[in-house]
Amino acid sequence: MKGGSFTDSGALRFPVSKEPQDVARAVLFGPYATSQGQVYTKETRRPLSAKQTQEYLQSSNPQEYYERLMHKRKEEAEKKKDQNQ
């Protein structure tokens, strides 16, 4: 696994940590069995864009980049939801 779960087109779904328990779960049961995979499914997240995936891969701190991006997406979704009410 290249440090995450990627779509066939190469977009990052979610990062997978290198913690032994997550690596073991990913190898034995697939990436969705990891803690990050569970959050991705529970929160119905979507893959990153091609540009975002490249920025993630080139980041000096990919996990921080991903978390900031997910926080931004969540804020934007809540803002949109509030505007529609």
The residues spanned by each domain of the chain are 4-83
Q: For position 41, what pLDDT does the model report?
A: 95
End-to-end CA distance of the chain: 42
For the range 24-27, what are the long-range contacts, defined as Cβ-Cβ under 8 Å and sequence gap of 24 or more? 26/1
Q: For position 1, what pLDDT does the model report?
A: 54
Question: For the chain (length 85 residues), average pLDDT per consecutive 10?
Answer: 87 92 90 93 94 95 95 91 80
